[in-house]
Amino acid sequence: MDPRALRKLVESISKTVKSFKKYEVECLIILFYDLVEKADVRLDNVGLDRVAFRRILHALFGMTDDKLMNRVFFAFDKDSDNCINVNEWVKGLSVFLRGTLEEKLKFCFEVYYLNGDDGCISEEEIFDLLKNSLYQQSPEEETDEGIKELVDITLKKMDYDNDGKISFADFEKAVKEDRLMMEVLGQCLPKSEICLSFEALAFRHIDTS
């Protein structure tokens, strides 16, 4: 990318992403195009497909759960074109690296309810997510009965209006009472030490602003 086009893109993205300085936005843009080139993705648009993005989540952010990585991909892919463009990359990373509690809440909830039509996490979805999460931690076969018990416990802790599903209002209230509830259905945000390592790698350019 020529310097003029890069500057224009930095200015454009910086207007909507306030958590990064301009030089940091520039670093993330350069990293994005470097990753796209290495991934050698054959797409009509310049971007990262699901396979390439999952590799990045694994290599740079230590994620290992295929199902949740797919859901994180869809949460990043705001225009639902099955490709993460440079704007979506920077905006998604702003939540990963510098997100407020509210932004992280919204992101995690979006990852969890992704397949729902009513904007709520259903009992079936809670069951699937818990089963998947438990399998990642211990590949021994979990009994459906044991997981159903965990679903009941989760609903008791989070379903404040007792309608058998978790709305965003339920989720927000539960997390504000106990931060550990944020990723109760599976890890969809990188750990803080990994974020720091990523920043050290990505922002190694000197800040001249």
Q: Assign residue 173 the CATH number of its domain.
A: 1.10.238.10
Check residue 135 and give its pLDDT.
75
Is 158 found in the same domain as 76? no
H helical segments located in 43-180: 50-61, 66-76, 86-98, 101-113, 123-137, 144-158, 168-177
Whether residue 148 is contained in a domain is answered as yes
d(CA 152, CA 130): 11
Whether residue 127 is contained in a domain is answered as yes
Query: Is the pLDDT higher at 43 or at 121?
Result: 121
**Alpha-carbon separation of residue 188 from 5, 7, 135, 163, 183 (angstroms):** 33, 32, 16, 25, 7
Whether residue 207 is contained in a domain is answered as no
Is 57 found in the same domain as 134? no
The boundaries of the domain holding residue 176 are 101-183
Model pLDDT for residues 69-80, shown as the tens digit of each residue = 999 999 999 999
Count: domains in the chain: 2
Residue 208 clears pLDDT 60, i.e. is over it: no
- Across 33-59, average pLDDT: 87
Assign 84 to helix, strand or coil.
strand
Check residue 134 and give its pLDDT.
81
Whether residue 113 is contained in a domain is answered as yes
Is 197 found in the same domain as 130? no
As a whole number of Å, the CA-based R_g of the chain is 18
Is 16 found in the same domain as 49? yes
Check residue 209 and give its pLDDT.
45
pTM more than 0.75: yes
Give the confidence band of 88 by pLDDT, cuts at 50, 70, 90. very high
Look over the chain and give the mean of its residue pLDDT values, rounded to a whole number.
Answer: 90
- Across 81-95, average pLDDT: 96
d(CA 54, CA 202): 18
Is 90 found in the same domain as 18? yes
Is 172 found in the same domain as 130? yes
- Which of 135, 43, 133 has the alpha carbon at shortest distance from 86? 43
Is 91 found in the same domain as 14? yes
Is 95 found in the same domain as 115? no
Check residue 172 and give its pLDDT.
97
Residue 177 clears pLDDT 90, i.e. is over it: yes
Check residue 145 and give its pLDDT.
86
Cα 27 to its chain centre, rounded Å, is: 20
Residue 156 clears pLDDT 80, i.e. is over it: yes
Model pLDDT for residues 89-109, shown as the tens digit of each residue = 999 999 999 999 999 999 999
Residue 206 clears pLDDT 80, i.e. is over it: no
Is 138 found in the same domain as 79? no
Whether residue 208 is contained in a domain is answered as no
